[in-house]
Structure 1
Amino acid sequence: MSTTADPQALADHLEQARRDYAELRAQGLHLDLTRGKPSARQLDLSTPLLSLPGAHHTSADGTDVRNYGAPLGLRELREIFSPFLRVPVDQLLAVGNSSLELMHDTVVHAYLGTTVPLPGSPRRWADEERVAFLCPVPGYDRHFGVCERFGIEMIPVPLTPDGPDMDVVEELVRTDAGIKGMWCVPKYSNPDGTTYSDETVRRLAAMPTAAPDFRLFWDDAYSVHHLTDEEVQVADVLTACAEAGHPDRAFVFGSTSKITHAGAGVAFFGGSPANVAWLRHYSGKRSIGPDKVNQLRHVLFLEDADGLRAHMRAHRDILRPKFDAVRRVFDDQLGGTGLAAWTDPKGGYFISLDVLEGCAREVVRLAGEAGIALTPAGATHPYGDDPTDSVIRIAPSYPDLEDLLRTAHGVTVCVRLAGYEKLVADRAA
């Protein structure tokens, strides 16, 4: 069915959508697709962590993990994640349990640090007249939340199939010294699954910037989160930056949050030697050392890079059927209608559902009234403002398959109702 169908056909489809929606509301659902949380089955994969490290309390270099110290984190854990994050082990820190926490802290230190300046920075960011970040859209709402916390201006940049629109990015950073950073999810981006091409990475590393302390906040949250047999790779951003003469340009972040236990993981920071020294200077003021007991249990559980790969294949075996189920429902209920398009990502945690312009908020409202909680429309854009009002983030990971099928079907009912109402109204206008 095309959105250009004759008025009577549209009216008939609208009437059917209204009947379907009435039936949906009558079911009394209480379903949630708001956040990309691991399911209980995924968390169960890491249950052995709860009995580790047992009586074992010494790292490979003899460090007693029960005590203070080891500010870099355990080397053996950094060696496991170094090849996946594309960061040399001596330039990789394992600290805390949240990469978001590390991203927040790097912004804090850039703003307030007085004793050791951010490499390349003429002054602390708090003394700048204006600080702005580029935000590829659709993007991650928690990145935007960090900017809002500090009053950082957010400048949307459209995503293409190869990553952010580099013609736009290069022009903006070349002329605007207030642009200090850019959020990047280089692999399986949240929410549309985009992976940056090698050419995009090269251009990000090489582009001239008006701000001498411009930083790429390289959030490699889904570095090992594949949904197919293909392990998609992204170019090494630290090497690209160094070869382009900008060795300090990238901050690399990662974590085990969607690998082991989301509430008890390990976070990573990678960068140039100068960036690592800068962060260590300030982090040493707030902590005497990371949770090395937790790091050791991760080492004993994962063992090595092959162990990490095997563990993530077990995650994939749980997740892929859920993504396939959502796609099948969307194909069956929305395929050929012209009312929506959706992504089929090769990895990550989300599906991006693009509905007719001006309909996303209405779809989310209709779903909420029918007992289906969706991420708020606009969450994928700075300030919660999607100018097209068309992007909805779908998070298939948490519900069980039966609930997910019911939820996906309910979403399509709301998409059809909102879409056909808009088309009929537009025809009448």
Structure 2
Amino acid sequence: MTTPQTPASAPHRPLSDLSPEELADFRTAKEEEYAALKARGLSLDLTRGKPSSAQLDLSNALLSLPTSTKDRAGTDVRNYGGLEGLTELREIFADLLGVETDQVVCGGNSSLTLMHQVLVDLLLHGGPGSDRPWKDEPVVKFICPVPGYDRHFSMLADFGIEMVTVDMHADGPDVDAVAALVKDDPSIKGLWIVPTYANPSGAVCSQEVAAALMSMPTAAPDFRVFWDNAYAVHHLTDIEVKSADALSLAAASGNPERPIMFASTSKITFAGSGVSVLAASAANKAWYLKHLAMASIGPDKINHLRHVEFFGSADGVREHMRKHREIIAPKFDAVDAALTGVLGGLDVAEWTQPTGGYFVNLDVLDGTASRVVALAKEAGIALTPAGASYPHGQDPRDRNIRLAPTFPALEEVETAMAGVATCVALAAAESMSS
């Protein structure tokens, strides 16, 4: 769960309560602070949610693995075959994702690649329940909860798929809005969601919302939910949220083919050399493997075995993620402390306190997000472009900024966020005094 942060004992008065003279004085003070910030000649980057070198170091033992060339069944992993991936690895991820092993396929280093493959196959061939390939539909649309993951949106845009937005709430997408959209429009073929510690809001899709998404009537007989559980085990507190069981909920509702689940170790082990996961109903899995067989004779089972030896079990993954938490949780605390120190009580911004994931969602005064990003850039602080969490990078209110604090060192996060907070305050003062 994530909520907007407003400190109980606010150190500042709301800017809207200031007189014109007081607001002018406030703006002058922030302009002076900003000039001092620029004079520091900073070069800091909060643009992408990448693991830091310290996090990558946690997995260095992978470099000396595997110690064997055979899996548990005695099959030589150096050879062709095994399109589903190593059984031992599938068992680990079935445990982590709360699904059955026979529902799981393990692939290469990128779950984004799996999503792309599934989308292409649906466009070219259609899926179970499709009347025809999606490419033959007059229009194809996806529902996109916002703010959301920019790479989902750019993939859809690349295929010319229209995007319809709904609000992302603390417990998941606005289910009433989704239900109203899918009920009568057969061109709406899918919904894309990060259900656990959503990018960028940190929201967690509740069991109730997940059940509604899996059971609601849809005009399209082959409506799909791309369930991108990228951060299912990326906890930032001792409370380790369990993801909703989308596959079981869908099957119980008579819509077993609706969800297709994705995950990976991209932010668990080595970002560029991990393993990816797809989980789906028997029909969806068979459909996916049928088309995958035209492109591959099997995944990198050596890397699969390497990860199996490294983790040992699902509990090994969970313990490994607690080590990640020790490194990155202080950085999220630093974001909150910096924003609270400068902006608390001004009523010009809201931000999330996520309990997991990789991002902090910052909403500033309407019409000022682009200005905040530009001010930060001039001061040597790189931020994700304003509006990146919306389709085509267009935030209609120009208020949303995604913050990614994991990659820089803690001291750099502290410095960068103090600077970002100054930029937010200055942009607000400019807007309110114009």
- Alignment TM-score, normalising by the size of structure 1: 0.97
Residue 177 of structure 1 corresponds to which residue in structure 2? Answer: 186
Residue 3 of structure 1 corresponds to which residue in structure 2? Answer: 15
2:354 pairs with 1:350: no
Counterpart of 1:106 in 2: which secondary structure? helix
Residue 312 of structure 2 corresponds to which residue in structure 1? Answer: 303
The alpha carbon displacement at 1:73 in A equals 0.4
C-alpha separation in 2, matches of 1:367 and 1:91: 46
C-alpha separation in 2, matches of 1:129 and 1:158: 26
Residue 111 of structure 1 corresponds to which residue in structure 2? Answer: 123
C-alpha separation in 2, matches of 1:161 and 1:315: 24
Residue 37 of structure 1 corresponds to which residue in structure 2? Answer: 50
Partner AA of 1:411 in structure 2:
V
Residue 246 of structure 1 corresponds to which residue in structure 2? Answer: 255
Counterpart of 2:219 in 1: which secondary structure? coil
C-alpha separation in 1, matches of 2:413 and 2:343: 17
2:91 pairs with 1:82: no
Q: How many residues align?
A: 421
Return the match for 1:71 from 55, 61, 83.
83
2:428 pairs with 1:422: no
Residue 270 of structure 1 corresponds to which residue in structure 2? Answer: 279
Residue 237 of structure 1 corresponds to which residue in structure 2? Answer: 246
- Alignment TM-score, normalising by the size of structure 2: 0.96
Residue 383 of structure 1 corresponds to which residue in structure 2? Answer: 392
Counterpart of 1:253 in 2: which secondary structure? strand
C-alpha separation in 2, matches of 1:69 and 1:231: 36
The alpha carbon displacement at 1:87 in A equals 2.1
C-alpha separation in 2, matches of 1:296 and 1:271: 22
- Runs (5+) with no aligned partner, structure 2: 1-12
The alpha carbon displacement at 1:130 in A equals 0.3
Residue 110 of structure 2 corresponds to which residue in structure 1? Answer: 98
Return the match for 1:135 from 122, 137, 144.
144
Following TM superposition, the consecutive aligned residue runs of length 4 or more in structure 1 with deviations greater than 2 angstroms are none
2:37 pairs with 1:24: yes
Q: How does 1:200-349 map to 2 (within 5 A)?
A: 200-349=209-358
C-alpha separation in 2, matches of 1:315 and 1:329: 22
Partner AA of 1:91 in structure 2:
Q
Residues 234-290 of structure 1: per-residue CA shift (max 9 Å, x gap): 221100000100010000000000000000000000100000000001111111100
Counterpart of 2:45 in 1: which secondary structure? strand
Residues 327-353 of structure 1: per-residue CA shift (max 9 Å, x gap): 111111111111111100000000001
The alpha carbon displacement at 1:8 in A equals 1.2
C-alpha separation in 2, matches of 1:87 and 1:109: 23
C-alpha separation in 2, matches of 1:162 and 1:260: 28
C-alpha separation in 1, matches of 2:153 and 2:55: 28
Counterpart of 2:289 in 1: which secondary structure? helix
The alpha carbon displacement at 1:298 in A equals 0.2
The alpha carbon displacement at 1:385 in A equals 0.6
Aligned Cα root-mean-square deviation (Å): 0.7
C-alpha separation in 2, matches of 1:20 and 1:309: 43
- Runs (5+) with no aligned partner, structure 1: none
C-alpha separation in 1, matches of 2:332 and 2:22: 32
Partner AA of 1:37 in structure 2:
K
Q: Is the 8 A contact 2:97 2:243 kept in 1?
A: no
Residues 134-158 of structure 1: per-residue CA shift (max 9 Å, x gap): 0000000000011011000000110
2:205 pairs with 1:192: no
Partner AA of 1:359 in structure 2:
T
Partner AA of 2:31 in structure 1:
R
Partner AA of 1:81 in structure 2:
F
Counterpart of 2:293 in 1: which secondary structure? helix
Residue 365 of structure 1 corresponds to which residue in structure 2? Answer: 374
C-alpha separation in 2, matches of 1:283 and 1:416: 51
